[in-house]
Copies of this chain bind each other. A is one copy, B any other.
Amino acid sequence: MNNKDIQENRVRSFFIESTKSTIKGEGIKAVSARNIAKDAGYSYATIYNYFTDLKELFTFCIADFIVECRDFVNNAKHPDKASKESFISKSKALCNYFIQYPGIFELIFTEQMVEVRYNEKISADIDLLYNSIFGDEYKRLSKKRDVDISIISELHRSVITGLLSKYLLRRTPSDYREFMLILEQCIKYI
């Protein structure tokens, strides 16, 4: 990578970091080309010298957040062996990440802030996220219940997304403890 590319990537990362911190701090509604650029110390039009549009910029943020989420979950303490308890513990940690930063959940799972052409890559990244966190748990359940592992993972992933969507967007249930209780019972049921 030559100097020009290094500098280009650096400026690009200024915009990405600015966007990420705005999403984490003030939420997705506070994100705009003007805001991002001001935070990054550039003019708003400069963004378009480094990204084709905001959607491409958001796509980079999503990739970063997915990595961050994986680290967040893996750095938390969980039962060593794959078990019902580890499944619950990791699921709770995953949810806690998005509850801490609702804007990240909106960005990845609800807002249509992403170009169709990136959908496949993002989907693959999320697949990887879930498999790297819950791979052992999926295997265990797949054997135990004699069900295809892909169904277990689809089911688990859907439940998490669905519950989070209801809790973060509709604020139902209204209470954090109650949400965690429902989550726990749903995972137990699976």
Contacts and interface: CB of A to CB of B under 8 A. Distances in A.
A157 B161 contact: no
Interface string A146-190: 011001101101111111011001111000000000100110011
Contacts of A116: 171
Contacts of A110: 109-112, 165, 169
A155 B123 contact: no
A185 B151 contact: yes
A172 B120 contact: yes
B158 A166 contact: yes
Contacts of A186: 151, 154-155, 158
A122 interface: yes
A110 B168 CA distance: 11
